[in-house]
A = this chain, B = another copy of it.
Amino acid sequence: MKYLITGAAGFIGSNLADHLLDEGHEVVGWDDFSTGQERFVENASRHKNYQLIRGNNLDLQGLKSAMKDCEQVFHFAANADVRFGLEHPSKDVEQNILATFHVLEAMRCNDIRTIVFASTGSVYGEASVIPTPEDAPFPIQTSLYGASKLAGEGLIEAYCEGYGFRGLIFRFVSILGERYTHGHVFDFCRQLLDHPDRLEVLGDGNQRKSYLYVADCIAAVLHTVRFNVGREGQSDIYNLGGRQGWIGDNPFIFLDTTKIQKTGWHAKVSIREGVVRTVRWLQENRWVFTRLVS
């Protein structure tokens, strides 16, 4: 198969590209490197089946050309700058809503029908049901990021119904592993590298949070895509991520992942082992602390 991945130089996108290449597939990596990292595509770029194209999702013509001969699209590019969304609201509208629309239009133009979309548990807002299932009560959006991802979901669903697309929407939370570049583990590592004798932890230190290891995340996505093969005209939505959150994590997101587990997929790497691998990678790649803000 030949796949196009948007956000191919990002945390999950670059891991996915490497995985698909390992499986023997062809991959077109699409990224504008606004937050993606050159080093994350170094391995893939040496592969004969990999083609890297630098472009932004606002460039519809570029996207159309990039998708030529591809069979499926993983739309993982996004403005994931949740915290500063309010400082530049057009970023979420452009990079998450318009971008998704352009991806869909470029697919339609190339007669590609299957889209896998990285959404977020943030679409549940302040969920009234916890753990939150995919069919939780119709939520009220509490962030521009969540609202823009929800808009992307809606467009994909409408393309499924209207144009016979097949959509797989994953509402992610709390992924970690190699190339992980923001979140609690990242912050803790940075602090301990800065001042090994002292760690500042918000709250009382008794919070628990769980993560899903990125290789397990990718296995879950690919398992689910293949599990649902051939369901054209339909969108399927799955929660994916940490199975245990903690009150005080604001916003509190704790997703019910029963549905994706029912497809037969289960995580292989424990949270402990996932954290160990992440920390090891961060220690070996200290450049990320200077290049990236968490």
Using Cβ atoms and an 8 Å threshold, which residues of chain B touch A146? 154, 158
- In the complex, A148 Cα to B150 Cα: how many Å? 10
Closest to A235 in B: B140
- In the complex, A154 Cα to B119 Cα: how many Å? 15
- In the complex, A128 Cα to B136 Cα: how many Å? 12
Closest to A135 in B: B137
Chain A interface, number of residues (Cβ within 8 angstroms)? 39
Contact call A154/B147, Cβ cutoff below 8 A: yes
Given the interface pairs A97-B97, A97-B151, A105-B89, the reply to whether A141 lies near B163 with Cβ below 8 Å is: no
- In the complex, A139 Cα to B235 Cα: how many Å? 11
Say how many copies of this protein the assembly contains: 2
A232-247 residues at the B interface, CB under 8 angstroms: 235, 237
Interface of A (DSSP majority class): helix
Using Cβ atoms and an 8 Å threshold, which residues of chain B touch A125? 157
Contact call A134/B142, Cβ cutoff below 8 A: no
Using Cβ atoms and an 8 Å threshold, which residues of chain B touch A90? 101, 105
- In the complex, A150 Cα to B149 Cα: how many Å? 11
- In the complex, A158 Cα to B145 Cα: how many Å? 9
Using Cβ atoms and an 8 Å threshold, which residues of chain B touch A104? 89
Contact call B137/A158, Cβ cutoff below 8 A: no
- In the complex, A142 Cα to B98 Cα: how many Å? 19
Given the interface pairs A85-B162, A157-B147, the reply to whether A138 lies near B141 with Cβ below 8 Å is: no
Tell me how far the C-beta of A86 lies from the nearest C-beta in chain B, rounded to whole angstroms: 5
Known: A93-B155, A137-B138, A141-B153. 9 other contacts (CB 8 A): A89-B101, A89-B104, A134-B138, A140-B237, A142-B158, A144-B162, A147-B151, A148-B154, A150-B154
Residue numbers of A with Cβ under 8 A of B are 85-86, 89-90, 93, 97-98, 101, 104-105, 124-125, 128, 134-144, 146-148, 150-151, 153-155, 157-158, 161-163, 235, 237
